[in-house]
A = this chain, B = another copy of it.
Amino acid sequence: MEIDEILDRFYPLPTHSKKALKAHISEVRRPKGDILMRVGRVEKNLYFIKSGIVRAYSDSHSGDVSFWFGKEGDIVISMKGYVSGQEGYEHIETLEACDLYQMRTQNLEALFETDIHVANWGRKLIGYEMIKTEERLIAMQFKTAQQRYLDLIATTPDLLQRVQLCHIASYLGITQVSLSRIRAEIR
Contact = CB atoms under 8 A, between A and B. Distances in A.
Contacts of A79: 127, 130-131, 134
A173 B120 contact: no
B170 A142 contact: yes
Nearest to A82: B127
Interface of A: 58, 60, 62, 65, 67, 79-80, 82-84, 89, 112-116, 119-120, 122-124, 126-131, 133-138, 140-142, 170-171, 173
A120 B127 contact: no
Chain B CB within 10 A, most for which of A114, A131, A136: A131
A80 B60 CA distance: 31
Contact of A173 (B119, B123, B141): B141
A130 B130 contact: yes
12 contacts: A67-B138, A79-B127, A80-B131, A83-B127, A83-B130, A84-B127, A84-B128, A115-B116, A119-B123, A130-B130, A136-B137, A140-B141
Contacts of A123: 112, 119-120, 122-123, 126
Contact of A137 (B115, B116, B120, B133): B133
B131 A120 contact: no
A123 B129 CA distance: 12
Given A120-B112, A123-B112, A133 B135 contact: no
Given A84-B127, A115-B116, A141-B171, 14 more contacts: A58-B138, A62-B142, A67-B137, A82-B127, A83-B130, A83-B131, A112-B123, A123-B126, A126-B127, A130-B133, A137-B137, A137-B140, A142-B170, A142-B173
